[in-house]
Amino acid sequence: MQDFKDLHKQHRRRATAGNAFRDQAQESEPQKTRRLRIILPLVALLLASYPIISIFGSTRSKTSPPAAKPAAVQPIKLNNLDNWSAFRLAADAYPNISNQNGTFSAPLPQGGKVVYAINEPMQRRVEKLMNDYKVPYGLFVAIEPKTGRVLATVAHSSIQPGWEKGAFYNTYPMASLFKIVTATAALEEKKVGPDTPFAFNGKLTSESPKRWHVRPGRGNQQMPLSLAMGKSVNPVFGRLAGEVVGRDPLIFYADRYGFNQSIFPGSPVVPSAAPAPPPGSVDQLMLMGAGLNHEVKISPFHAASIMATVANRGVMMAPSLAKEIVDQKGTVVFAQKPQPLRTVTTPETAASLARMLSTTVQSGTSRKAFHDRRGRPMLASLRVAAKTGSIDGKDPAGHYSWFAAYAPMEDPQIALAALVINQNKWRIKATSVGEQALEAFFK
């Protein structure tokens, strides 16, 4: 509550202000005229100069205060490297890679260098092939199955310069490579074997599940699963997924292979994707099992790792882009060692998958690329397990041609994945890229 004395003081101040106002009101007319002669020109000058003042004021408001600078990315320290931080370091340095006497290396910003395990003949052959054929978009990754060492990485685009940067880390529609996952689920669940005869309807390349169902006593087609894998028969693997394996086991083994998760943590490899939520109808599940779901996407790195897993008796190894890393003093601060990542299948399932995949080159979708016109094998003494894939895609637009393989089957030394995206004019298939890569590697 205010004191009465304060109220009295406020009243006196208001009274004084009122007297001053009355005194102003009593000014003579000559005094008012003189004041107006001074004030009016000043007001006119201020109004005329307002646009200029507003411009300067606007400029100050746009440039002040200065924008905050983004936080600097902290460089990876060399004194405590693991496989994934070494992968990231090697990936960041990769654009500056050079070849000296067959050894590929790249300098590090903090001094020192990354040494890669790149196989020069294979790397150069694939680069030349893609360049000679003017491939619109092409990717290639090769891995040593038992160690995870990356043996080659090629990215090429004849129509979009700059697309190549990091393109082999991104994901693309997987197409029929997903049939490997479908077969794994069926084999692991003991539902079928490589020689199990399987009935189906429709063309081998049919994309309509409604045409695949078997009708008793209506002359259905039939072939063993091994041959169906080699010929990439959509109705067989669609029915296998939808009517034999089922949704939950299929999603379970997709998870085992590393879909919808970061299985290469800290590396730039984008996680592969499978539909989430999973297919809600049998027809959708069939399309997924046959490799016809466009939302199932995988990176060339992951595709090569899946083939390497089959080659390595079901054990997936962590891929390593760096063979070793040396600091500015010449001391080796990282030397790659084989690192098991996860067990995906039993050795028995891996062996059955190998039998099924071998038919791709022997009598399936890659036979022409691996045999001359007289039917003689191009790589006579080499047994190759492989899978092809083919699907249309939008990013980038074109027809996606996949080839994933490992060899030799008796003692796998290399697993690879090649992706070629052709447009209106076909340049070359991924199968031919894979065959040339194997020829260069084993010559």
| Tokens matching residue 249 | 């086991």
Whose CA is closest to 401, among 368, 426, 367?
426
Q: Quick: pLDDT tens for 233-253.
A: 999 999 999 999 999 999 999
**Ramachandran assignment for 374, one of left (phi > 0), alpha (psi -120 to 50 degrees), beta (any other):** alpha
Share of the chain above pLDDT 70, in %: 83
Quick one: 63 exposed, middle or buried, by C-beta within 10 A (0-12, 13-18, 19+)?
exposed
Distance of CA 290 to the CA centre of its chain: 22
pLDDT attached to residue 67: 37
What CATH class has 86-442? Answer: alpha beta
Count of CA atoms in the C-beta half-sphere (13 A) of 305: 31
**Ramachandran assignment for 266, one of left (phi > 0), alpha (psi -120 to 50 degrees), beta (any other):** left
Q: Quick: pLDDT tens for 128-146.
A: 999 999 999 999 999 999 9
Determine the Cα–Cα distance for residues 140 and 392; give it in Å rounded to an integer. 19
Extents of the domains making up the chain: 86-442
pTM: 0.82
Q: Which residue do the tokens 């092939």 mark?
A: 129
Please tell me the chain's helix, strand, coil percentages from 3-state DSSP, rounded to the nearest 5. Answer: 40, 20, 40
Quick check: 223 and 196 in contact, CB under 8 A?
A: no
Whose CA is closest to 257, among 210, 326, 188?
188
Count of CA atoms in the C-beta half-sphere (13 A) of 27: 11
pLDDT above 80: residue 344: yes
